Structure 1
Amino acid sequence: MATSVTAGGEHQPVRASTAAFIGTMIEWYDFYIYGTAAALVFGKLFFPQVDGFYGTLAAFGTFAVGFLARPLGGAIFGHVGDRIGRKKSLIITLFMMGTVTILIGLLPTYASIGIWAPVLLVLLRLVQGVAVGGEWGGAVLMAGEHSPSPDRRTFFASFAQLGSPAGLILSMVMFMIVTAMPEEDFLSWGWRVPFLFSAVMLVIGFAIRIGVKESPEFVAEQQRRLKEAKAAQPPLWEVLRGAPLLLITAICANVLGIAGFYFTNTFMIAYTTTYLGMDRALILNCLLLVSIMQFFITPLSAYVAERVGVHRFLIATAAISVVTPFAMFTLVDQGTLTSVTIGVGLAVAGLGAFYAVIAGFVSDSFPTRIRYTGISMAYQLSGAIFGGLTPIVGTILAENAKGDWTPLAILFSAISLISLVSVIALQRPRQRQLQQATA
């Protein structure tokens, strides 16, 4: 997109993409350690009155609460980012996320304060969800809008996506360390260490993010609004009233990257340990290896997508993801580290490549003045509807299927099919927006 580069809004592609990567890595680390703790320990410590299946379901319920709060964060910080500035919004979300994560690590359990323990856990999870809801869209835009040319937006926006596997890798490493402790130590204090470690990362994140200048496209749009001297409508109102079909399509386009990810990286922990009787160290080792693979797949996928065409690339990866869950469960059932890693890796290869590219694809569909709000609401509503509910639906299907993984594979295929159809539908409004922006 052609924009003027003004003082305070210079292109900083390397610094902006690095800040987007580090910032989202910290944000997603905070979010993922909660998901891992929900699968491994929260049911026992915060819902001890409901053991087994119902305790796991209750813990995943608090996990889903964070997703339900994310659209609120997208609306609040989308408004801040579209009207006040991308950078200001991202500084606030980083502070909120880090602070809440530290507080969760200090939270007393049910044994200490009774019912207040799960109540406070849910409240903190709500705030965490609001923070993540405002983070993702701003990070994608700060990286993409600082790209040196329009045709590199997909690649630079992918650095925000790179923070997701990096955060997961870091969270897996932390939990591998603490789960190696004796069970008694892990349950009493070991699980808190990954949460408290967020204090160190919060300082690092601030130091990096504070040095990035405002997005040049936002600066240009702000100057244009001042010249026109027109009363602007709230960005959320513009999105809901002026582009409801675009928003719905963008919501569905994000499903594979969100719901598919939490299927493989959150639900599969509970599925393999609870229903297949695997050692938790095995599945955590598997997810660590798969996350490392996804880390390298992300920039490679963005690079390839720029060469073959972003739309064509997304269609291909979504189509592949429709069939991979059947191979995944066949291999996971064998129960070895190699078979489980290959099985989950096949599924993550497809959805990870899709996830790397979908952010830039969706952001190109919205005009600059409402882009932060548009992509944030699309992503976060998709997360609220599909992401948070996927581990719950998967747990219910696994409980009722009694060893038959076919319903679970069909669930993953349906997730992929929703995104496949939506990406096809989104191409026309995206092309129209790109033509208007470069006219």
Structure 2
Amino acid sequence: METLSDYNIASAKESDQSIEVKRKNAIKGAFFSEYIDMFDIYLPVVALSPVLFYFQPPQLSPGLETILASLVFITTLLGRPIGALLFGIVADRIGRRKASIYSVSGFGVVTLLIALLPGYESLGVTSYVLLVILRFVDGIFLGGGYTGAMPLAIEYSKKSQRGFVGGLIISGFPAAYVSINLITWLVLMFSPLHGLHSPFAQWGWRIPFVIGALLAGVLVLYYTYKVSESEIWQSESGEKKEKLALTDLLHGKSGRNLLQVLLMMTGFWLTQNIITIFLPTGLLVKTLHFNGIEMTATLMLTYFVLFFTYIGSGMLGQKIGRRLFFLIVGPLIAVVGSALLYILSTRQGMPVPVIVALVCLLAVLVTSPWGVIVTYINERFVTDVRATGFGVGFSLSVIIPSFYAFYMDWLSAVMPLALTAVALLALGGIIGTVGAAMGPETKDVDFS
């Protein structure tokens, strides 16, 4: 005969299994949310940049062409903080899961609309204006994509595994970069690019955008049917949920926490931009004169390695502490990272394998904080403002570093242009270190 004790044990086991399923589903959702977010972010950089002339007037000056090309990427970045704020409030007030569904649905639709855009020959300059507007709106939805998904996953994670989970989630970024390059390469194989009326210019570039929209649709279905709302968020009182999260975020302890996170993230965004934006064209192409194949192969290898090192950084931060990790890595970026970038920027004639190895080492070192950042920022805020704090702290801090090219131009008045990126990398490492030093250790924070 089954006793009450047996029944209680069976119920407890069933409950534990249910929580474990919810935990795994939330973590998978956050990983794929980051993956699809980054897939969408890099679509214009990888798939669209070769054919931006499809949307632009012919015979533009090189300077104007560069400005118009940068707008497609910058407007997306500018939209992200707005989306992080709006959807962060949604996630804190009505739930992380709903915020994820709404934001992913939004950028899925916008990405599909971009895939359907006609070019300059059909609409004139309106086609380019529509492209920029859609990318800005896309940035708003993309900025909201992780304000629900990442806090939801971190809140479901066991305290001892939060470092691994944070590193795993952010590894979706290099995975997406490798994927979009492979997809674009395959599309170029059967739809060559050789002028305005070539297959890739007319329809080939649209295929990666359609794939991005379909991936977003799959993610919406996954969150709708597989992911449960955060139990930690649900445990908050209804009274707290009715508060405006932004008001709570900007006052008292949460306000001080936000300032500290913004300072730290400004530094690490600056170092990140040197690797993800400046390094491919500014260093590999313009300084080291890599051709397209050499540059792509170098970046593909580097991002493949980063997939694993992000996870490793998250696990190391779990072992030694997030704050201590930043305090060690920040100065290493400022000193060792800057030295590596200096060597790459000034030593001409190095063998290609040596350059590839140095680029890979530089990227691993400089981007290693990102394996810890997702977990750390979530641990810096209490539950009722966690999504808003994470979204604003993560995204608002990207704005100042995004104009790194202007800072390089200003610095070129007092130093060789080739060394300005070295100076900014060192400055970013220092700012990130100072910001981290102003905050506490968080690995033992108890969400419940």
TM category (shorter chain) comes to 0.7 to 0.9
Structure 2 gap ranges (5+)? 1-13
- Which residue of 1 is the match for residue 438 of structure 2? 425
Kindly report which structure 2 residues correspond to 1:318-337, keeping only aligned pairs within 5 A, or say none.
Answer: 318-323=330-335, 324-328=337-341, 330-331=343-344, 334=349, 337=352
The alignment's C-alpha RMSD in Å is 3.0
Give yes or no for contact 2:104–2:141 (8 Å, CA) kept in 1.
yes
- Which residue of 1 is the match for residue 276 of structure 2? 265
- Which residue of 1 is the match for residue 223 of structure 2? 209
- Which residue of 2 is the match for residue 136 of structure 1? 146
- Which residue of 1 is the match for residue 11 of structure 2? none
Aligned equivalents of 1:103 and 1:351: distance in 2? 35
Q: 2:316 aligns with which of 283, 286, 304?
A: 304
Kindly report which structure 2 residues correspond to 1:10-409, keeping only aligned pairs within 5 A, or say none.
Answer: 10=19, 12-37=22-47, 40-42=50-52, 45-46=55-56, 48=58, 50-147=60-157, 149-178=158-187, 181-184=192-195, 185=198, 186-210=200-224, 211-221=226-236, 225-226=237-238, 229=239, 232-242=242-252, 243-271=254-282, 272-274=284-286, 276-323=288-335, 324-328=337-341, 330-331=343-344, 334=349, 337-386=352-401, 388-390=402-404, 393=407, 396=409, 404-409=417-422
Give yes or no for contact 1:169–1:292 (8 Å, CA) kept in 2.
yes
Alpha-carbon spacing, 1:297–1:151, altered in 2? closer, same or farther (3 Å): same
Alpha-carbon spacing, 1:273–1:77, altered in 2? closer, same or farther (3 Å): same
Aligned equivalents of 2:109 and 2:268: distance in 1? 27
Alpha-carbon spacing, 1:51–1:110, altered in 2? closer, same or farther (3 Å): farther
User: TM-score, normalising length from structure 1?
Assistant: 0.86
Percent identity over paired residues: 24
Higher gyration radius (CA) = 2
Return the offset for 1:286: 1.2
Return the offset for 1:176: 3.1
Return the offset for 1:403: 7.7
Aligned equivalents of 1:105 and 1:207: distance in 2? 21
1:31 corresponds to which letter in structure 2? I
The runs of at least 4 consecutive aligned structure 1 residues that moved more than 6 Å come to 397-403
1:389 corresponds to which letter in structure 2? F
Query: What SS is found at the alignment partner of 1:145?
Result: helix
Give yes or no for contact 1:13–1:156 (8 Å, CA) kept in 2.
no
Aligned equivalents of 1:280 and 1:335: distance in 2? 18
Give yes or no for contact 1:39–1:266 (8 Å, CA) kept in 2.
no
Aligned equivalents of 1:170 and 1:404: distance in 2? 33
Aligned equivalents of 1:34 and 1:398: distance in 2? 29
Query: What SS is found at the alignment partner of 1:307?
Result: helix
Return the offset for 1:337: 4.6
Aligned equivalents of 1:286 and 1:301: distance in 2? 22
Alpha-carbon spacing, 1:22–1:230, altered in 2? closer, same or farther (3 Å): closer
Return the offset for 1:137: 2.6
Give yes or no for contact 1:36–1:266 (8 Å, CA) kept in 2.
no
Alpha-carbon spacing, 1:249–1:110, altered in 2? closer, same or farther (3 Å): farther
Alpha-carbon spacing, 1:203–1:70, altered in 2? closer, same or farther (3 Å): closer
Structure 1 gap ranges (5+)? none
Aligned equivalents of 1:152 and 1:187: distance in 2? 46
Alpha-carbon spacing, 1:79–1:71, altered in 2? closer, same or farther (3 Å): same
Report how many aligned residue pairs link the two structures: 423
Alpha-carbon spacing, 1:40–1:391, altered in 2? closer, same or farther (3 Å): farther
Output one character per residue of 1:79-119: Cα deviation in whole Å (capped at 9) or x when no partner: 11001010011111111122222222222233432221221
